[in-house]
Structure 1
Amino acid sequence: MRKLIVAAFVSLDGVLQGPGGPQEDTSGGFAHGGWTVPFADPVFGASIDALFARPFDLLLGRRTYDIFAAHWPRVPADNGDAGLATLFNGVTKHVATHRPDSLDWQNSRALGDDVIGALRTLKAQDGPDLLTQGSGALVQQLLATDLVDTLQLMTFPVLLGAGKRLFGDDAQAVTFSLETSVVSPTGIVVSRYQRAGEVETGSFGLD
């Protein structure tokens, strides 16, 4: 059985929109694209390397797919990101899209009309884990239907105020356990959480 891993760059106020550059995703008038870049440091780089060190298939929403498909196949061989480009180009990409005929990046597969049903089937199969990148709307669907096994979050010390959020109001109530956590020199908190079970409650009130 595969695990479904949500990996995300997130601000202190839960925004994940446009982390990599000013023009990455300006929808809704988002004006802070590239907000992760000033915080990049060796711990950040090592965490990215570790995330992609295990076998995985990519799981992408259509907007993130289009951003990736316009970038990674065009990375030159002498670029510092060439290794990651080769990896992303080679892995299978499962895409939530209403336009399956336009998936022209190699090894791309449409999830079909029933995205959640298709993902339940994929999770039940043998194969590499399913790893999200970006894809905020899709991630919110996954959290609402309790499909997420692991959260791999990089929380950056910045408030963005507006933008697409990681967690929606319809996220399934569930407990996660903290597996690992490290703080980078620039203040990025890199945390990995595993699904642990139902939410338990209690009271600090005096009897």
Structure 2
Amino acid sequence: MRKIIAGLFQSIDGVVQAPGSANEDTSGGFDNGGWVMPHFDETVGGFMHEVFSQPFDLLLGRRTYDIFAAHWPRVKDDPMADAINAATKFVVTHQSGPFDWQNTRHLSGLDQIPEVKKSDGPDLLIQGSSTLYPGLVERDLIDRLFLITFPIVMGSGKRAFDGAAPKGLRLVEHRVSGSGVMIGVYELAGELPRLDVPSPS
């Protein structure tokens, strides 16, 4: 069975909006885009190279799909671009097409994802696509989650887990880059563990 491997760039306060460029996603009046590259050092780049060097297909929300479709087909002579363009892109949206990027398949909702996981093919990699996370977490569909947390506070912007069901996570790997970026790789660990602070005796 395929695994879903989800990855996010986020600020310390959990904002995931427009990491790559100022004009990537200005919805809601967001004007702080382009916050990844000042801290994108060899450690972060090396980790991302490891992620994209494995066989993968993509699972994307509509906005991320449109951003990727406008960018990656134009990138030439780049192994990562070649891999992304060759991958099957599963785009989850209630909207109609067009879906002109090569190897694109339309999924009308999250309920179709279990069948995709059961199908033949490589693991499914999520990049961006913050609107998918609450539903995926609720359905326990994420097999591995990597959060790349940058040493910045945004104060406002889109967050991936707003409205998600409470869940526990298990840390399976971590790295810290010289620029202060924290990379945590997690697996879902069931219900949220809770324990009251002991009362003073």
Out of 143, 150, 156, the position equivalent to 1:149 is: 143
Partner AA of 1:96 in structure 2 = V
SS of the equivalent of 2:22 reads coil
Matches within 5 A, 1:68-147: 68-77=68-77, 82-112=78-108, 115-147=109-141
Percentage of identical aligned residues = 47
Q: Contact conserved, 1:145 with 1:172, CA < 8 A, in 2?
A: no
- Secondary structure at 1:6 match in 2: strand
**Contact 1:146/1:172 (<8 A) preserved:** no
Alpha-carbon distance in structure 1 between the residues aligned to 2:17 and 2:44: 18
Partner in structure 1 of residue 34 of structure 2: 34
CA offset at residue 190 of structure 1? 0.7
2:134–2:165 Cα contact (<8 Å) kept:
no
Q: For the aligned residues, what is the CA RMSD?
A: 1.5
Q: CA deviation at 1:124?
A: 2.7
Whether 1:173 aligns to 2:169 is no
C-alpha separation between the residues in 2 aligned to 1:136 and 1:162? 15
Distance 1:38 1:158 in 2: 11
Q: Do 1:95 and 1:108's aligned partners in 2 also have CA atoms closer than 8 Å?
A: yes
What runs of 5+ residues in structure 1 fail to find an aligned partner? Answer: none
Shift of 1:100: 4.3
Structure 2 runs not aligned, ≥5 long:
none
| Post-superposition offset of 1:99 | 4.0
Q: Is the Cα contact below 8 Å between 1:3 and 1:149 reproduced in 2?
A: yes
Question: Does 2:5 align with 1:5?
Answer: yes
Q: How many residues align?
A: 200
Task: Tell me the TM-score normalised to structure 2 length.
Answer: 0.93
1:66 matched residue in structure 2: 66
Question: By how many angstroms is 1:149 displaced?
Answer: 1.7
What secondary structure is seen at the aligned counterpart in 1 of 2:53? coil
- Partners of 1:31 and 1:189 lie apart in 2 by 24
